[in-house]
A = this chain, B = another copy of it.
Amino acid sequence: MTDRLPPGSTIGILGGGQLGRMLSMAAARLGYRCHVYEPGPAPAADVAAERTRAPYEDADALAAFAEACDLVTFEFENVPAAALDDLAARVPLYPCRSALETSQDRLVEKSFLRDLGLATARFAPVTEAADLGAALAETGTPAILKTRRFGYDGKGQARVADIAEARAALPAFGGAPLIAEETVAFSSEISVIAARGRTGEVAAYDPGENVHEDGILATTTIPANIPNRLRMDAVLIASRILTALDYVGVMGVELFVTADGLLVNEIAPRVHNSGHWTQAGCAVDQFEQHIRAIAGWPLGDGTRHADVTMENLVGDAVHRAPDLAAEPGVQIHLYGKSEARPGRKMGHVNRVKPLSTA
């Protein structure tokens, strides 16, 4: 057993966006204060006790932040490695650095999953144009070229039909190391939100079925329209990943449903957009679950007491919020961002219905 973080302790959160905002409110519900570290505008700061506005390269600010916090976590996986080194030397950091590093690089991530014996799309590294032939021989065509690092919401990707298109696509990546991936023929995309506590216990929520638009998550529906066998497989896969990484906290695991079963697409070492439905469908939502895990509380068991469809409000769609609020069973979550830029996640709604399945 580990010691529970005492009530009144301060949890530091790297990143001040909507995930940090919802983490901060969950931490408050468990009696903690939050301190948000964010170089830019920080919607999370409006619901946090403290806030540091400084670059991730500011060693003094990081040191003061570490000093002010009893434990640190993060809302996004692209925190610079040096900042993490600085912090990890001074204050407990969850999830651990190694999990973060695994997920920061698509090639490392896919290799890790393959080494675990899990099915993934075929993949191969592409460092320069000369690698493309062998890479596409491995993946088949059409293939998807992706930057190994810093891609999200469909950014840093190109779908290529053949090697000629692949060569033509290369310059736009500006020399960044790439991975080529097989184009998977999937019937649907699902994700599992799972948590692992400090003492190794794992809990998972029911898999949700995701629909993307323009590379951005549009909706997650619970229950997913998949056979029970796959529901179980998905949870077991997530559990193996968390345990192999000695992970502490909540992770999102995205999977493709194919004729041959499930393929792991990618993992996100943090609370995940496709887990927002838990706010309306579970006693313990993914944000509280993450705080429970990193602060040494018992995990919620992931039980769902309602059906939910989560819909993202992207860009101008946020202006639909008042109309949506007039519909029965709709829960609103706005992120407090001032400008509704295209492609920007501005909020989400959860549509709740009584439980359809036991």
Contact = CB atoms under 8 A, between A and B. Distances in A.
Contacts of A29: 332-334
Interface stretch (A93-101, A246-254, A266-274, A346-354): A346-354
A145 to B, nearest CB: 38
Given A49-B45, A283-B280, A354-B354, A329 B306 contact: no
Interface stretch (A155-163, A257-265, A297-305): A297-305
A126 B329 CA distance: 47
A40 interface: no
A299 B309 CA distance: 20
A333 B29 CA distance: 5
Contacts of A303: 328-329
Interface residues of A, number: 53
Chain A interface mostly: mixed
B24 A47 contact: yes
Given A4-B322, A328-B301, A28 B21 contact: yes
A168 B90 CA distance: 64
Contact of A283 (B24, B301, B329, B335): B329
A284 interface: yes
B28 A352 contact: no
A358 B331 CA distance: 20
A288 B7 contact: no
A230 interface: no
A46 B25 contact: no
Contact of A352 (B21, B283, B351): B283
A354 B352 contact: no
A334 B301 contact: no
27 contacts: A4-B322, A7-B318, A7-B334, A24-B47, A25-B28, A25-B47, A28-B47, A28-B336, A29-B332, A31-B347, A33-B46, A33-B336, A45-B49, A280-B283, A283-B331, A283-B352, A284-B331, A297-B322, A297-B325, A298-B325, A298-B326, A301-B329, A305-B355, A306-B306, A306-B354, A354-B355, A354-B358
